[in-house]
Structure 1
Amino acid sequence: MRLSISHETTYHYDDQVRASIQYLRLTPHDSERQQVLSWQLALPRPVRAQVDPFGNILHVLTMDEPHEAIVIGARGQVEIDEKREAEHESQSSLPFLRFTRLTEADEAIRAFAAKETKKRTDRNALIDLMQALNQHITYTPGATAVDTSAAQAFANGAGVCQ
């Protein structure tokens, strides 16, 4: 199956920003399941590709002059092998098992995860958990701040992507 992808993100700031840095992981890579036929980023300035520690293609966009908005575009075509259900992961999952003061799961989150996954650990269990979280937590601007923990956002049933 051939997919044509077009994505645009626009950041608007209430006040002029003196400088900003965006870490962009918007570029797919070839794998056993997909082949990138064409891909390009539309950015306000040239950037170089690098690979992050997890194998993702990363571009760092540094805006060091005052600006009130940033428009980031990505588009291209990817061929997917529909016969392959998933990729074989070569990266260790250990970095994703760490937690911080803000990301540590409390008992309510653990119980929710156990209920939604039925203690399964396969890909479908993760998809079920993701969909249940999407239903449980409503995107609500102002509901959380940079120091709001995952447990607080989960308990409130609302938050933003910080």
Structure 2
Amino acid sequence: MLLEIRHVTQYHYAEPVRESVMEVWMQPQKGARQRLVSFDLELDPPAQLFSYADAFGNAVYHFDVPQPHDRLNIVARSAVETQASPPLPDALDMGEWDRLRSDFVRGEHFDFLHHHGFAVETEALRAFAAERRLDELKARDPLTAVRALSRTIYESFSYETGVTHADSPIDLALEARSGVCQDFAHIMIAICRSWGVPARYVSGYLFTDREAGDRSDPDATHAWVEVFLPSVRWIGLDPTNNVEACERHIAAAVGRDYDDVPPSRGVYKGDAESQLAVGVSVRRARAALTEPEFIRVAQPAFARGGRRRAGAGGLAYDQQQQQQQ
């Protein structure tokens, strides 16, 4: 499937700010199931762009806008060719639990086995697990268990924006029994890790199909979960839509939780309120793209909005894109 993604982020400041320093995690990954055909970043106002690979292998772009400005616009355009993952078996043998406990798995995937940030085990999470008798799932093989867990989260929570925010702990979604993709991913990750199953957060996009039952917002970024099982390696599960990750899922970055891979993060200097507008569109490409893979960065940008910090030369505000996934 050949897909085009357009991700627009716009910040408006009530008063001109003196400087913005930003990072973005918006470039789709390259892999066996996902070919990056093109990637283009444009920034207004313009700035020099740098890039690096973070600790999890994600492409990160960063830049500095050193002059006063009252707006910051980023447009990220991508073209990606995706393929369906090879079909998974119906089940694995029970020895997979022993393989998960091996020193190799526990050492190789240390970061994805321990609670971190938003994906933590809380009293509310333990109460939810007891209510839904989730520990009984461990009597099944790990593949069957994680599939059943994803389905249970889908059935237990309604998809509703505005209930939680980008920095909300999972307890808010657990109490309300509603939330968005980010909340459901964190809940599933925390439970998988408590079982000894490595699990990581995937930030990206979804080509939404309402006829297939998708309930996530087609105009927003998306998030789902990947779990590691030694016999089948990393597999993607989408508890928001009760599906396995497929050719409609476009992965941009992976981390321990949302805070590792927000679409954008940075700081600005100035004592001004900011407003954020975000728009995402994912559609089928209108024609086949035959040119070789390229990455062109014209300008970059992005942000968060709101925590005041003391900074040299004035006030600095942490900025991170507040749109939930």
Band of TM-score, shorter chain = 0.5 to 0.7
Q: What 5-or-longer segments of structure 1 have no aligned partner? A: 87-91
Q: What 5-or-longer segments of structure 2 have no aligned partner? A: 89-107, 184-321
Distance in structure 1 (CA, Å) of the matches to 2:147 and 2:81: 23
Identity of aligned residues (%): 27
Distance in structure 1 (CA, Å) of the matches to 2:65 and 2:148: 40
Paired positions, count: 155
Matches within 5 A, 1:14-93: 14-44=14-44, 45-84=47-86, 92-93=108-109
In structure 2, do the counterparts of structure 1 residues 81 and 161 end up closer, same or farther at CA, with 3 Å as the change threshold? closer
Q: Tell me which moved more, 5-14 or 128-137.
A: 128-137
In structure 2, do the counterparts of structure 1 residues 112 and 73 end up closer, same or farther at CA, with 3 Å as the change threshold? farther
Matches within 5 A, 1:1-162: 1-44=1-44, 45-84=47-86, 92-96=108-112, 97-99=114-116, 104-112=120-128, 115=132, 119=137, 124=147, 128=151, 135=158, 138-139=161-162, 149-151=169-171, 155=175
In structure 2, do the counterparts of structure 1 residues 85 and 67 end up closer, same or farther at CA, with 3 Å as the change threshold? farther
In structure 2, do the counterparts of structure 1 residues 85 and 23 end up closer, same or farther at CA, with 3 Å as the change threshold? farther
Distance in structure 2 (CA, Å) of the matches to 1:43 and 1:67: 12
What is the Cα-based RMSD across aligned positions, in Å? 4.0
Distance in structure 2 (CA, Å) of the matches to 1:145 and 1:78: 26
Distance in structure 1 (CA, Å) of the matches to 2:78 and 2:52: 19
Q: Tell me which moved more, 26-35 or 43-52.
A: 43-52
Amino acid at match of 2:41: L
1:27–1:39: 8 Å Cα contact kept in structure 2?
A: yes
User: 1:129 deviation in Å?
Assistant: 7.2
Point out the structure with max Rg over C-alpha. 2
| Highest RCO, 1 vs 2 (Cα 8 Å, sep ≥ 6) | 2
TM-score norm. by structure 2 comes to: 0.38
In structure 2, do the counterparts of structure 1 residues 76 and 153 end up closer, same or farther at CA, with 3 Å as the change threshold? closer
In structure 2, do the counterparts of structure 1 residues 136 and 39 end up closer, same or farther at CA, with 3 Å as the change threshold? closer
Distance in structure 2 (CA, Å) of the matches to 1:5 and 1:32: 19
In structure 2, do the counterparts of structure 1 residues 153 and 70 end up closer, same or farther at CA, with 3 Å as the change threshold? farther
2:52–2:59: 8 Å Cα contact kept in structure 1?
A: yes
Distance in structure 1 (CA, Å) of the matches to 2:133 and 2:160: 14
1:116–1:129: 8 Å Cα contact kept in structure 2?
A: no
In structure 2, do the counterparts of structure 1 residues 33 and 145 end up closer, same or farther at CA, with 3 Å as the change threshold? closer
